[in-house]
Amino acid sequence: MSESSILQRASLGAWLEAMGRAGRRVLAPVQEADRVVFGTPSAPEQIATGFVQTPGSAKSVVFPPFDEMLRFRTNGEDVHVEEPSIAAEPTVLFGVRPCDAASFATLKAVFTWDSPDAWVESRMANLTVISVSCTQCDEYCFCTSVGGGPGSTQGSDILLTPLDDRRWLVEVLTEKGRAAAGLAPQLFAPANGEAASKEKLLAQVPVRFEAKEVAGELPSLFDHPEVWKEQSLRCLGCGACAFVCPTCSCFDIQDERVRDQGTRLRCWDSCGFRLFTLHASGHNPRHVQSERWRQRVMHKFSYQPERLGVTGCVGCGRCSRACPVDMNLGEHVRRLSEMSV
């Protein structure tokens, strides 16, 4: 349902205001001291634009670092339990990269397959994603290896492509996108052939491997005696990769209590942590780091494609930028893809 139009950058403030008036919370990458983080911009000038990628992902919008699942108060023998509302605030996520827009498909697959998670579902249903095409990339980007691209419309409700310093090419892609654009229709001018120039404006992201092929080949490498150990030898077993990843969604459930009151929390967790799979008996099915690294790769590039029909990676490169020891996912998966030929 893609419809193209032109939006002046100077009109962004008016559009955001219209969104606010319509009761939508706006989240966007904003410059905060020396870093770009997702926050609510108080003015359009606050929205960061020059970055290749934000250090943290936008997944917190639907899957925050911790969620209160329940609140309770014990009362003698009985327990008084309160549940959080499933209702989510209508939110516009503005200015994310196409890879981040694509990541919501993976999150959705995880949280809605078989037993739907009502919170994540509700937050997704209330989320409008307005992404901006990439005109630059860096050595960590590999979206084109995992079915995405610097101008990919996958997962976006509206995609903006910078035509020049003053204008965006606007592609309205979904009903939600149409509703968001419809909040200030006067701001959108017809695109007279400019849509054709989109491809030329985009960053050139080299293809390192084909995720679809890798998915088929990885199972045969599971028992490889060397590669997982070699690739993970320097891995420190922290959770930086998983926590900055836009699609990593593993979590822990823990209770906190102060005297007779408490909460049940869902917190981000990582398959890289030793304790992740440790049994109470002391047995650990993935007891060395190489097995945990293999799980990370297999989960994203083999299990999720096979079980959920999605790739668990959008090639944003955050894990590799954040890794304290320069574990480079794109490089490692390319190596695996070369081995399996």
Partner 1 sequence: MELLRDKAKSLLKSGAVQVVIGYAAGSATDRFRPHFARSADEADRLVFGDGCRQNLAVYLLKPEVRAMGKAAVVGGPTTLRTLLQYAVENQVSDGSAVALALEDGRVEELTSFAAVEEYLAQRPHGLSEEDRAELEQHAGRSREDRWAYWSGELARCIRCYACRAACPLCYCEQCITENNQPQWVPVASDAFGNLEWNVVRAMHLAGRCVNCGSCAAACPQNIRIDLLNQVLAQEAMTQFGAEAGYSVRKEYALSVFKPDDKETFIR
Partner 2 sequence: MTTFSTAPSASERRNLYTPHKMRIVKATDEAPGVRTFQLQFVDSEVGARFSFEAGQFGEYSVYGEGESTFCIASSPTRTGYIECTFRQAGRVTSALADRQEGDIIGFRGPYGNTFPVERWEGKNVLFIAGGIALPPVRCVIWNVLDLRDRYRDVSIIYGARTVADLVYKHELAEWDQRSDVNLWVTVDPGGQTPEWTGKVGFVPAIVEEVRPRPADTIAVLCGPPIMIKLTLPVLAKLGFAPEQIYTTLENRMKCGVGKCGRCNVGKVFVCKDGPVFTLAQLNELPPEY
Tokens of 138: 């860096």
In the shown chain, the binding pattern of residues 38 to 77 toward partner 2, with x for contact by CB under 8 A and - for none, equals: ------------------------------xxxxx-x--x
Tokens of 189: 């001018």
Answer with the entry of partner 1, partner 2, none that 229 interacts with (C-beta below 5 to 8 A by kind): partner 1
Select the residue interacting with partner 1 from 20, 39, 162, 239 (CB under 8 A). Answer: 239
User: Rounded to the nearest whole angstrom, what is the least distance from the CB of residue 45 to partner 1 in the complex?
Assistant: 22
In the shown chain, the binding pattern of residues 62 to 81 toward partner 1, with x for contact by CB under 8 A and - for none, equals: ---xx---------------
Please name which of 189, 202, 171 lies closest in space to residue 4, comparing C-alpha atoms. Answer: 171
Nearer to partner 1, 55 or 309 (CB): 55
Select the residue interacting with partner 1 from 82, 89, 139, 199 (CB under 8 A). Answer: 139
User: Rounded to the nearest whole angstrom, what is the least distance from the CB of residue 64 to partner 1 in the complex?
Assistant: 9
In the DSSP assignment, the letter for residue 47 is B
Cite the DSSP H helix spans in 157-226. 175-181, 198-201, 211-221
Say how far apart CA 172 and CA 154 lie, in whole Å. Answer: 12
Say how far apart CA 326 and CA 242 lie, in whole Å. Answer: 14
In the DSSP assignment, the letter for residue 76 is T
Please name which of 108, 130, 131 lies closest in space to residue 119, comparing C-alpha atoms. Answer: 108
Beta bridge partners of 3: 172
User: Rounded to the nearest whole angstrom, what is the least distance from the CB of residue 292 to partner 2 in the complex?
Assistant: 10
260 interacts with partner 1 by CB under 8 A: no
226 interacts with partner 2 by CB under 8 A: no
In terms of Cβ atoms closer than 10 Å to its own Cβ (0-12, 13-18, 19+), residue 14 is middle
Size of the site for partner 1 (CB under 8 A): 40
Q: What is the secondary structure of 51-74 as a DSSP string? A: -S--SS-SGGGTS-SEEEEEEEEE
111 — phi, psi (to 5°)? Answer: -85, -10
User: Rounded to the nearest whole angstrom, what is the least distance from the CB of residue 300 to partner 2 in the complex?
Assistant: 11
185 interacts with partner 1 by CB under 8 A: no
Identify the H or E element spanning 35.
strand 35-39
Interacting residues with partner 1 (CB under 8 A): 34-35, 37, 55-56, 65-66, 138-140, 229, 233-234, 236-240, 242-244, 252, 254, 256, 265, 267-268, 270, 273, 275, 288-290, 320, 322, 324-326, 328, 331
Site for partner 2, rule CB under 8 A: 68-72, 74, 77-87, 89, 110-111, 113-119, 121-122, 222-223, 249-257, 260, 262, 264, 266, 269, 271, 276-281, 283, 285-286, 291, 295, 298-299, 302-303, 306-307
